[in-house]
Structure 1
C-alpha cells in the first residue's frame, strides 16, 4: 500500500535490485547488531514490534498500540516504524537471518513466498493463538491459506487493501449516476463503465476518470492491469510460481481497454500518483481508480465523495490487493513469555481491527465485518464484500508490495496508458520480463 496523503513510496529499481543482491552479505552482520534482551525490567515481558505504517495508518496504529499497552501493563511493548518498501524488507530479512529479530512484525502477505518461511520466519502456534480467541475459521479461507507453507501457518492476515473506485458524489449526482440513497448505481461491463465516465466528464468538461499513468517507479498501471486481468480469470504464473501461465488473448483484451481509457479521452494520459490525488481532491473528475488508503486524505479535505468496489468489467468483481499480515521473524530461541506475548498481541490487534479499518483497509478478521461500529463507518464499509474476491500476486519471491514484479510490469503497462507502447508490444515485453524474473534466483534459495 501507499501511505495516505503521500506520493507512492519510491523503491527505485536500482534500490530494489541492490537490496536483493545484498541480503545474503548483509545478513551476516545481524548476529552482532540485532541482539536484544528477552525481557524488560520490573518483571515485565518485553515485546518488540516492527511495522512500516506511515501517514494516517501510522496514526491509527499508534492509537491501537497505546490501547494495547493500557490493557497489558505486564507487557513492555516497543514499537519501531521503519521505512516503507525495500528498506523495510531488507532490514527484516537481515534480522531473521541473524536469528535475533523482533518478536512480531508486519509483512505483506503476497511477499511471504519470497521470505523463506522456516528460516527467516517462525511458524505461529495455532493452539496458543486459539487460547487468545483467534482461530482459522475467523478468516476468509483463501487469505488464510496464503499464509500457510508446508502445513504450518507463517502469516496471520490483518486486512486486505484492494483497488477501489472513488467517486465524487456531487459530480455523479449531476450526471444521474446515483441511486436514491446517494450510492453509485450498479455498473456492469466495459461499455457501461465507459458511459458512466463519459457522463461524469460531461459535467466537468474534463476527463471523467483519473488514474496513475506514469512517474518514477510507477506501479499504478500494474494494479489496474492486475485488477482487470484477474476479472477475466487469467493467471500470470502457475500455482508453484515457477512457470508463466499468462493468457495472451485475455491480457491483450485488458491492455486494449486500458489504452482506450486514455486514447478516447476518458482519462488524462500523463499523470503521476501525486497528480491523481490532486485532480480528484480538486473536484476536477468524477472517478478515481486507486487503492483504498487515500480515504483519510479525501475525508480530511471535506470533499463530497464515496467509494465502491471496482465494477465487474471483464467477468467478475475481482480487485488487485495485498494484505498486511503479522509474522514471527526468526528467533533461534523463540519461546517462553515473549512468544506468548507475541501471540497475545496479534490476537488483540485482530479483535480490535475495527479501529484499523478507519484507514480504509478491509479487516481480514471476519467478526469485525459484522460489528455495528464498522458497518456504520462510511465509506469504509461500502466495499467490504470484496474480501471474498481479492486478487493477490502469484506466490513468487519477486512478487508482492514494493516488489520487482510491480516495478517491472508497472513500467511496461505505463507505456500503454501514455501511448508510448502498443498493447501488443506491452504484452510481449511483459512476458519477456516475467521470464527474466523467473530466471533470477531468489536471494534466499528455496523458500522453506
Structure 2
C-alpha cells in the first residue's frame, strides 16, 4: 500500500495535536536510525526517509546499489512513519543535536523547518564537483529550496496531480487520436469529454476522492484548477491571505457543477475512488501519479497525462520530495561529504525512482532514453514545468494542516453539503486561523 493511502490518513489524523502529543513523549523516543558501527575505513552515513509501499521498495533497491558501489560508506537507512510523526521527529532531531546526516522533506514544508536552525545548507561547490548544479533543475523548484541565499533543499522529484484515463473507453467515446487522449482545452471541453464518456458507459465520466477522514483530494482538485487562473492562496512570503474571491468562486462553482450534472462520482472515499476506476467503467480518474502500480496490477487498459488546462494557463497541484541536511552542531568532514555523494548518486540514478510514477527533478534524467521508454510515466513529464507548490507557510505542503482543513471544506462542495460561496467563506476563516497559529515544531520559533 502506498503511503498516500489509508495509512497516511491515520498518521495525519491528529494534526497540530499529534505534533504536540509526539513532542510530549520526549526527545526522539524510538525514532533513531539503526545504530550499526561502521567498519574499518568506512564512513558512517545515516539517512531518514518516509517511503513505504512501492516507493519504499524502489528506494531500498537504489540504496543497495549505492552500497555496492561505495563500500567505503556504511549507509544506515531508516524508514519512519509517514506524516506528522515523521516531521515531528525530524524537527526534534535538528533541535536536539541527534540528527542523521541526510533526510527527505517535502519541499513545500521547508518554510516550517526553520532553515538555519533545524536544517543546515548544502555545499553547492561540493555538489557541483559531484555533477549536480542549479541549471540541472527547473528554476522554480530549485529556488524553492533557497532561504536567505543558501540552498537548504535539493529536489528529487515532483509528484503531481495527474489525469488517468481508460484507453478503450476513451476510444469508444471518440476522445483518442494516435493512441493518446486528444488535447482538451478549457473547462467546457473537459465537461464535454466527461459527457461523451458517460454516453458510452452510462456511468459518471470522472471519479476522484470526495469524502472521508482527512480527505485531501478536494483540496488538490481546487488547488490545481485555481492555479490555472493565476490566483494565489497566500502571499508570496506565505504570511498573508491572498485568495481571489472571483477566481476561487469560478473554480468552486465548476467543481460543484460537475457533481450536480452527474459527470463525476459524487461520493467516494479514497479507496473507493481507486476501486471504481479499477473497475474499468469510469473513463477518468484524478489523483497523484503514485497509483500507477495499483492500476498496472489490475491490468486495466489505461494511460496518464497532465491535467488539462481548463482555466487559462497550465498548472497542477504538486509537491516535491527533496533532500535536506538536518542540523548538526559539528556538521562537516567525511560524513557530510558522504551525504552529498548520496544525494548526487540518487539524482543521477533516478530513472529507477521514476518507475514508481514520480517525475524526476534532475533534468538530465528526463532526457535519458531509459526514462523516455517508461510508459506511461514519461507521458506526463511536462508537469515538471507547471507545478503549483503551496506558498511557503509552516502549515502548508504534504501532510499539512492546510490540506486537511481545506480538503474537508471543499469536500462539501463535491458532495453537495456546502455551497461554493459558503465553502469559500469557511476556507478563508480556516486559513486566517492557521496564519495566526505559531509553528509548533521545536526550534522553529524565531
Superposed pair shares fold, TM > 0.5: yes
User: Residues 89-140 of structure 1, C-alpha deviation per residue, up to 9 Å, x if partnerless?
Assistant: 1111111111121110100000000011111111101111111110111100
Please give the alpha-carbon distance, in whole angstroms, between the structure 2 residues aligned to 1:107 and 1:240: 19
Query: Which residue does 2:174 correspond to in 1?
Result: 176
Structure 2 residue matching 1:144: 3-state secondary structure: helix
Q: 1:34 to 1:80 in 2, by over 3 A?
A: closer
Give the alignment's TM-score, normalised by structure 1: 0.95
Question: Is contact 2:354-2:371 (8 Å) kept?
Answer: yes
Structure 2 residue matching 1:124: 3-state secondary structure: coil
Report deviation, 1:14. Answer: 5.3
Q: 1:206 to 1:435 in 2, by over 3 A?
A: same
1:278-289 equivalent positions in 2, closer than 5 A: 278-289=275-286
Structure 2 residue matching 1:437: 3-state secondary structure: helix
Q: Does 1:248 align with 2:274?
A: no
Question: Is contact 2:317-2:389 (8 Å) kept?
Answer: yes
Question: Is contact 1:35-1:100 (8 Å) kept?
Answer: no
Please give the alpha-carbon distance, in whole angstroms, between the structure 2 residues aligned to 1:73 and 1:13: 38
Query: Which residue does 2:307 correspond to in 1?
Result: 310
Query: Which residue does 1:99 correspond to in 2?
Result: 97
Please give the alpha-carbon distance, in whole angstroms, between the structure 1 residues aligned to 2:34 and 2:329: 13
Query: Which residue does 2:20 correspond to in 1?
Result: 21
Structure 2 residue matching 1:359: 3-state secondary structure: coil
1:23-422 equivalent positions in 2, closer than 5 A: 29-30=27-28, 40-180=38-178, 182-422=179-419
How many residues align structurally? 445
Question: Is contact 1:103-1:328 (8 Å) kept?
Answer: yes
User: Residues 395-445 of structure 1, C-alpha deviation per residue, up to 9 Å, x if partnerless?
Assistant: 000000010000100000000000000000000000000000001011257
Please give the alpha-carbon distance, in whole angstroms, between the structure 2 residues aligned to 1:338 and 1:36: 16
Report deviation, 1:292. Answer: 0.6
Q: 1:170 to 1:75 in 2, by over 3 A?
A: same
Q: 1:311 to 1:35 in 2, by over 3 A?
A: closer
Question: Is contact 2:36-2:76 (8 Å) kept?
Answer: no
Gaps (5+ residues) in structure 2? none
Question: Is contact 2:113-2:444 (8 Å) kept?
Answer: no
Cα root mean square deviation, aligned: 2.0
Please give the alpha-carbon distance, in whole angstroms, between the structure 1 residues aligned to 2:149 and 2:33: 30
Give the alignment's TM-score, normalised by structure 2: 0.96
Question: Is contact 1:166-1:308 (8 Å) kept?
Answer: yes
Structure 2 residue matching 1:285: 3-state secondary structure: coil
Report deviation, 1:393. Answer: 0.6
Report deviation, 1:56. Answer: 1.0
